[in-house]
Amino acid sequence: MELVFATHNKNKLIEIKALLPHYITLLSLDDIGCNEDIPETADTIEGNAILKAEHVRHRYGYNCFADDTGLEVEALNGEPGVHSARYAGEEKDDKQNVAKLLEELKDKKNRNAQFKTAIALNLNDNQNLFTGICKGEIIKGRLGDKGFGYDPVFKPLDFETTFAEMSLTEKSEISHRGKAFRALIAYLSK
């Protein structure tokens, strides 16, 4: 089976290829000649995933799935949420995003947060949505050098390490993305 994963993000591709069964050939947007950034203009994480999957299906004609992920922080009323990748500006700079988040939380006692991933699958003219959530907290400084995005400041519930201190295998077992993709893979395996 051949599926397009609607992303240009090489880090996401690496994570997802590690989760997929061998019989699924994963193509990226680059592989199908889509060099554009697909607009993410929805108000929800689920809405953005659907927008991206629909774009690939209508423009390129492939069976595909698209994801969107956001970090939702309680003390910030769910921000950065759908703006997670561009929290500190359009450059999508991970270090600047983390710095802004830590600055916004510097006087807050409540540091509860959750990562949320939504995956929209367009397969044979049907659409399905899969969601994964990982609850945790934002720590006060960066720890670890693995992963990407907010991983150095996110410590999952019941763990003593951040995502950035975990191996890819450890992170995939408990992460929002891992949960959503396991639900997708279970569906594809039916």
Could you give the residue numbers annotated as active site? 68
Question: Any idea what DSSP says for residue 9?
Answer: -
Q: Give, rounded to a whole angstrom, the gap between the first and last alpha carbons of the chain.
A: 13
Question: To the nearest 5 percent, what fractions of the chain are helix, strand and coil?
Answer: 40, 25, 35
The 3-class SS string of 63-107 reads CEEEEEEEEEEHHHCCCEHHHHHHCCCCCCCHHHHHHHHHHHHCC
Q: What angle do CA 80, 85, 86 make, to 5 degrees?
A: 80
Give the CA dihedral 125, 15, 72, 55, nearest 10 degrees. Answer: -30
Handedness of CA 59, 61, 62, 66 (dihedral sign): positive
Cα–Cα distance, 47 to 76 (Å, whole number): 21
Cα–Cα distance, 190 to 185 (Å, whole number): 9
